[in-house]
A and B are shown apart, each in its own frame.
Chain A
Amino acid sequence: MALAREIYQALEDIVGKKNISEDIGVCESYRSIASQTSAHYGPFDHWTPLPQAVILPGSTEEVQNVVRICNKYKIQFKAGSTFYATMAYIGSDYAVQLDMRRMSKIEIDAKNQCAIIEPYAIAAVVQAEAMKVGLNLNIPGVGCSSSTLASTSGWAGFGPTSIFMGASGENLLSAEWVLPDGEVIKTGSAGAGAGWFCGEGPGPSFRSVFRGVTGVAGSMGVCTKIAVRLHPWPGPTFLPSDGVLPAYKAVLPDNFKCYTLCFPDWEGWTTAAAIIHENDVLYLGHRQYNMFGRNLKGAMIRILTDPEKQLCDLPELLEDPELQKQNESMKLEFQVVIAGMTKKDMEYKEKAIDEILKLSRGWKNEMMLEKDVHDWALLYLLRLGHKNLNYVLCGAYEGNFGMSSNLYVTTPLMEEASALKRKWEVEATAIAATGGDSEMGSISGIGGGGVTGWEYFTNFDAYDKDSIRGTKEFFDDTQRWMTEHGLGGDFSRWNTECRREDSYNYTQEEHDSFFVKMAQPHVMAYQWKVREAFNPNHLGGSYYRTLTPDKVPEGK
């Protein structure tokens, strides 16, 4: 069913002929299938629906007018910026897709350490512009190809630098938002034109409507501009990158150091992480390269730092005794970057790292100190520009388990979780055999520490239907394990409450049937009321989870 001509014409009048399409080829390329990206961003093996049209607005006014038309004709809409995640795609047949690509402005307020940005300003370019004036931003784990606006206002947004800079949500200052009914609001100080420096108030913050522990994943209107807090960058005005593709490396001054801190056991690991949470030492902290798996990480680092090597070299590398020694040395590890704001600051931080290792019985891995490897890791971690390395092994990956709790709960369970994954690697062939433990993630999911946000990388082949099926079975098993251990939803299931398996929106009845069982169902009942107040025509899809209030059981 195509849009009625008068609707299409109205939309075309808003954005111009060049910036709208209902061509089948164009619309087909605005569909997503999560097995090729990440299931925790949507359903696993069904394409999202075909949009009625793809619209490229160029300004807030254009977005507002498009949203008004959508309200007038009850057309669902969803805005996406970089289109990596399935959550950016629509969930019903009578819907249009907004592609925010034409809105990409960046304005840096160097003095007040913030960037005012539009949706298509990706983290890499915001960082590049910020570095020109000695600033940097928290780039979430998803990598620098992500829209900073989307990760900050619309989704989770923690990453390697969150220990120092805070997670993206913590860095959100004022925001401009086209509400689902077409009204435009500016939150905090920008509302009255005072500037973009504060996203809170006046009084209770309206930001509550679109940014909880995660953002609303495009389900409540369109965020068109935000201010994001920036942080110090004590380096050159651009990230100096050298080396032969793909082994690019950063040659930075001595006030930057990247170490892989290794520990004899999880207790030592936890001790070090806890001290880090309590002290201002790190610029960045992440368990990164274990994403390739406990058995493979050393070999993969050799491959990625040597332009001549390929994946077919893995078997030979895995037999290399020296590499095996290094791999064993960094069995339980995480990567850190320290950045000296001054010479003395660097000296203090170096000494502090040594002290932390002493207290935690740890050491620095030698291979990761080789100059080329060090410089490669430094660049990797600072820019997070290699994000599709997630897919390098098999073409597809999914994060699962998802240890979102505290250090002392999660680390004692790590070996058990790893053993479960290893069992699947050995006894089945659906997932890549990488060594069981492939846990990775930020040293802290929030600024200053306290919350972990770790996932296991599970690699499978999106072209191989048996591999996809087997991976789903593995996730069933990990969910069973997570439930047994009181750890909640498996990371791979994060969004199973947001879209149906067939990739369409849930009905209210379906949502009600899930959320009525919650320990504290008022959470979703209030979200229902919020949706009714701000999105009366329900045009955002079912990523916004709601429970009809009269379904809340008595006494809850």
Chain B
Amino acid sequence: MFDSMKEKLATIVGADNVKDDAGILESYAKDQSFATGIRPWFVVKPQNAQQVQDLVKWANETSTPLVPVSSGGPHHKGDTIPSVPQSVIVDLSGMNRILNINRQQRMTVVEPGVTYGELQEALAKEGMTLSMPLAPRATKSVMTSVLEVEPRLNANHQWQYHDPLRCMEVVWGDGNSMFTGEAAGGVKDLEKQWDAQKWQVSGNGPNMFDFLRIPTQAQGTMGIVTWASLKCEVLPTIHNMHFVPAKKLENLIDFVYRVIRLRFSDELMVMNGSYLAELLGESAEQIQQLKAELPQWVALVGVLGRELLPEDRVEQQTSDIEEIAQQHGLKMVPALPKIKGDKVLAKALNPSKELYWKETAKGAYQDIFFVTTLDKTPMFLKAMYELAEDEGYNTSDIGVYIQPQHCGSSYHLEFHLPYDPNNALETAKVKRMFEKGSELMSGLGAFYARPYGMWAKLQLNKDAQSYNALKKLKKIFDPNDVMNTGKLTV
């Protein structure tokens, strides 16, 4: 059976793109999270959408679970490791073409394997940029990042919750392939659509059902996306980062609410000193030093100018935000002690160095993140600190990151728990912290919009109707449950 599977897979993707070396399989069986995985049987690397579709059809015929993976490692959320035996990893990193860049429409179309570094470089040549999540891993797939709706730094330009993601080509779990959004309204051929001046701009629909919302936040459980169109921004000609330090998180809340209310700023985020230190520090030692020097809390405020009166815009925004800071008893400054805005900007808006910055401090980490509103963040923070004290985890090690999203209607709240993976005691402590903390946050009203691992149970158990509906949707798009089987279930 094993051999016949391998043979069949080889006919689909080519023998060179089917791997079953023990080492490779092991590397896909676990990630940096506490999730437990099961070794896959094969890793296949399709090269095009047709191969992906053939794979999915084959999986349906053979009831083989498929686990799509686009980013390179290390992974941290447990979503890319098989939950069930006999799985096949569909590694999409080989599909890494930038299919189109259109300055006029500010659109790009990318395959799953394209990373931020590659895309931003190509976009910059055309005078554009793509909104960023905070300093993603160097190996992070842009497509995975947008499919999983990682929070972007520029909430004010996130009119849609899913921005900058627009249209896609999806091979659903049942083996059918289609375009989504505006692109589904025309012939299923990108070249022909471009010839007809259609640039996959509008992502919803194309009719009354919103296909955009099925593969997103789905952890690959609904299908495999083989290209996605993304809305870009004009490349800034001036771009500054400012800081609003504070002693307590509470001191920044009203300031952030006010800035986002007026639609001021481009990037806007809040983090504690520990988190910022990790973002900036090149080594564990430097991080420790920075933690001592940096303010306890800081709001990071990015302001930029593009082609239209860039200096005027930057001057106006900077001046007005400074004034808002003053009105809230705060001060906006262009630099922190020894830290210039430019440095932070470069760190925040670019992919991480090869050693992921979140792993620099101690070698490993666990994040607990969810969606909430800004006013509730101090409450969650207090509870998390209390838990840390109970568990004997050093509260000063906890990184906290708060990111407005969707024009400020909701906020990503992230607790970052670094630990030394070689220290069994510390590892166990963080595992406890993660599990207890996740439950604690859930009990306090955390909304795990992206319910990875144990969060699925926490979230879906509280909401039977949503879970029933999700199961029905899953049955429609992946009737044989071949896509990342075992995820997003209770």
Binding site for B on A (CB under 8 A): 111-114, 134, 164-167, 169-170, 173, 183-189, 191-195, 197-217, 219, 229, 231-232, 234, 274-275, 277-281, 341-342, 344-345, 347-348, 351-352, 355-356, 405-406, 408-409, 445-448, 450-451, 486, 488, 519-520, 522-524, 526-527, 529-530, 533-534, 543-545, 556
Q: Are A185 and B210 in contact (CB under 8 A)?
A: no
Q: Are A212 and B320 in contact (CB under 8 A)?
A: no
A200-B216, A203-B450 given. 20 additional CB < 8 A pairs? A111-B257, A189-B410, A189-B447, A192-B447, A193-B462, A200-B161, A202-B448, A202-B449, A212-B205, A213-B210, A214-B205, A217-B208, A342-B262, A344-B316, A344-B319, A352-B309, A451-B201, A527-B209, A529-B476, A543-B208
The segment out of B3-11, B35-43, B61-69, B465-473 that lies at the interface is: B465-473
CA distance A206 to B449 in the complex (A): 12
Is B263 interfacial (CB-CB < 8 Å)?
yes
Q: Are B476 and A204 in contact (CB under 8 A)?
A: no
Q: Are B445 and A170 in contact (CB under 8 A)?
A: no
- 25 A-B pairs with C-beta separation under 8 A: A173-B409, A183-B468, A193-B445, A194-B372, A201-B448, A203-B218, A203-B456, A204-B473, A205-B217, A206-B473, A207-B213, A208-B210, A210-B208, A212-B209, A278-B306, A344-B316, A344-B319, A348-B309, A355-B309, A445-B202, A451-B202, A519-B185, A520-B188, A530-B476, A556-B188
On whether A203 and B451 interact (CB within 8 A), knowing A113-B408, A526-B476, the answer reads yes
Q: Are B447 and A279 in contact (CB under 8 A)?
A: no
Partner of B212 from A111, A208, A446 at Cβ < 8 Å: A208
On whether A229 and B449 interact (CB within 8 A), knowing A207-B213, A280-B263, A341-B262, the answer reads no
In the complex, how many angstroms separate the beta carbon of B164 from the nearest chain A beta carbon?
Answer: 10
Q: Are A197 and B409 in contact (CB under 8 A)?
A: yes
Q: Are B409 and A212 in contact (CB under 8 A)?
A: no
Is B432 interfacial (CB-CB < 8 Å)?
no
Q: Are A170 and B307 in contact (CB under 8 A)?
A: no
Q: Are A198 and B371 in contact (CB under 8 A)?
A: yes
Is B294 interfacial (CB-CB < 8 Å)?
no
Q: Are A545 and B159 in contact (CB under 8 A)?
A: no
Q: Which 9 A-B pairs have the closest CB atoms?
A: A447-B159, A213-B205, A166-B159, A201-B449, A212-B205, A208-B213, A192-B462, A191-B463, A205-B213
CA distance A530 to B373 in the complex (A): 32
> Looking across the interface, which residue of chain A has its beta carbon closest to that of B157?
A448
CA distance A451 to B104 in the complex (A): 12
Q: Are B201 and A406 in contact (CB under 8 A)?
A: yes
In the complex, how many angstroms separate the beta carbon of A252 from the nearest chain B beta carbon?
Answer: 17
In the complex, how many angstroms separate the beta carbon of B183 from the nearest chain A beta carbon?
Answer: 9
CA distance A356 to B312 in the complex (A): 14
CA distance A413 to B36 in the complex (A): 59
The segment out of B16-24, B192-200, B285-293, B385-393 that lies at the interface is: B192-200
Q: Are B231 and A450 in contact (CB under 8 A)?
A: yes
CA distance A359 to B408 in the complex (A): 33
On whether A200 and B462 interact (CB within 8 A), knowing A205-B216, A527-B207, the answer reads no
Interface membership of chain B positions 291-332, coded 1 if the CB is closer than 8 angstroms to chain A and 0 otherwise: 000000000000000111100110110011001000000000
On whether A406 and B409 interact (CB within 8 A), knowing A208-B212, A212-B210, the answer reads no
In the complex, how many angstroms separate the beta carbon of B130 from the nearest chain A beta carbon?
Answer: 14
Q: Are A278 and B263 in contact (CB under 8 A)?
A: no
Q: Are B308 and A278 in contact (CB under 8 A)?
A: yes
B residues less than 8 Å from A134 (CB atoms): 261
Partner of A527 from B201, B208, B313, B456 at Cβ < 8 Å: B208
Q: Are A533 and B449 in contact (CB under 8 A)?
A: no
On whether A206 and B469 interact (CB within 8 A), knowing A197-B373, A341-B263, A344-B320, the answer reads yes
Is B204 interfacial (CB-CB < 8 Å)?
yes
B residues less than 8 Å from A447 (CB atoms): 159-160
Partner of B209 from A112, A201, A209, A543 at Cβ < 8 Å: A209
Q: Are A192 and B159 in contact (CB under 8 A)?
A: no
B residues less than 8 Å from A523 (CB atoms): 178, 184, 206-207, 209, 211
CA distance A166 to B58 in the complex (A): 42
Q: Are A203 and B219 in contact (CB under 8 A)?
A: yes
CA distance A547 to B122 in the complex (A): 41
Q: Are A275 and B209 in contact (CB under 8 A)?
A: no
CA distance A133 to B23 in the complex (A): 61
Interface membership of chain B positions 260-298, coded 1 if the CB is closer than 8 angstroms to chain A and 0 otherwise: 011110000000000000000000000000000000000
B residues less than 8 Å from A278 (CB atoms): 106, 233-234, 306-308
Q: Name which of B204, B213, B445, B472 has the most chain A CB atoms within 10 A of its CB.
A: B213
Q: Name which of A134, A200, A232, A352 has the most chain B CB atoms within 10 A of its CB.
A: A200
A residues less than 8 Å from B176 (CB atoms): 522
> Looking across the interface, which residue of chain A has its beta carbon closest to that of B201?
A450
B residues less than 8 Å from A204 (CB atoms): 213-218, 221-222, 470, 473
CA distance A1 to B319 in the complex (A): 71
In the complex, how many angstroms separate the beta carbon of B466 from the nearest chain A beta carbon?
Answer: 4
Partner of B160 from A214, A347, A446, A522 at Cβ < 8 Å: A446
Partner of A409 from B197, B406, B456 at Cβ < 8 Å: B197
Interface residues on B, range: 35 or more
B residues less than 8 Å from A184 (CB atoms): 465
In the complex, how many angstroms separate the beta carbon of A218 from the nearest chain B beta carbon?
Answer: 11
Interface membership of chain B positions 400-412, coded 1 if the CB is closer than 8 angstroms to chain A and 0 otherwise: 0000001111100
Is B454 interfacial (CB-CB < 8 Å)?
no
In the complex, how many angstroms separate the beta carbon of A63 from the nearest chain B beta carbon?
Answer: 15
In the complex, how many angstroms separate the beta carbon of B32 from the nearest chain A beta carbon?
Answer: 22
> Looking across the interface, which residue of chain B has its beta carbon closest to that of A210?
B208
A residues less than 8 Å from B374 (CB atoms): 111-112
In the complex, how many angstroms separate the beta carbon of B216 from the nearest chain A beta carbon?
Answer: 7
CA distance A271 to B197 in the complex (A): 17
Q: Are A201 and B217 in contact (CB under 8 A)?
A: yes
CA distance A321 to B465 in the complex (A): 66
On whether A213 and B206 interact (CB within 8 A), knowing A191-B463, A278-B306, A533-B472, the answer reads yes
Is B129 interfacial (CB-CB < 8 Å)?
no
In the complex, how many angstroms separate the beta carbon of A19 from the nearest chain B beta carbon?
Answer: 27
A residues less than 8 Å from B159 (CB atoms): 165-167, 170, 446-448
In the complex, how many angstroms separate the beta carbon of B266 from the nearest chain A beta carbon?
Answer: 9
A residues less than 8 Å from B250 (CB atoms): none
Q: Are A208 and B217 in contact (CB under 8 A)?
A: no
B residues less than 8 Å from A520 (CB atoms): 178-179, 184-188
A residues less than 8 Å from B407 (CB atoms): 113, 166, 229, 231
> Looking across the interface, which residue of chain B has its beta carbon closest to that of A281?
B308
Q: Among residues 165 to 187 in chain B, which have CB atoms less than 8 Å away from a CB atom of chain A?
A: 176, 178-179, 181-182, 184-187
In the complex, how many angstroms separate the beta carbon of A524 from the nearest chain B beta carbon?
Answer: 7
Q: Are B320 and A341 in contact (CB under 8 A)?
A: yes
> Looking across the interface, which residue of chain A has its beta carbon closest to that of B487?
A203
B residues less than 8 Å from A192 (CB atoms): 447, 459, 462-463, 466
B residues less than 8 Å from A197 (CB atoms): 371-373, 409-410
In the complex, how many angstroms separate the beta carbon of B321 from the nearest chain A beta carbon?
Answer: 10
B residues less than 8 Å from A201 (CB atoms): 217, 371, 447-451
A residues less than 8 Å from B488 (CB atoms): 203
In the complex, how many angstroms separate the beta carbon of A185 from the nearest chain B beta carbon?
Answer: 4
B residues less than 8 Å from A183 (CB atoms): 465, 468
Q: Name which of A202, A215, A450 has the most chain B CB atoms within 10 A of its CB.
A: A202
Q: Are A530 and B209 in contact (CB under 8 A)?
A: yes
Q: Are A202 and B476 in contact (CB under 8 A)?
A: no
A residues less than 8 Å from B248 (CB atoms): none
B residues less than 8 Å from A185 (CB atoms): 465-466, 469
Q: Are A275 and B308 in contact (CB under 8 A)?
A: yes
B residues less than 8 Å from A170 (CB atoms): 159-161
> Looking across the interface, which residue of chain B has its beta carbon closest to that of A167?
B159
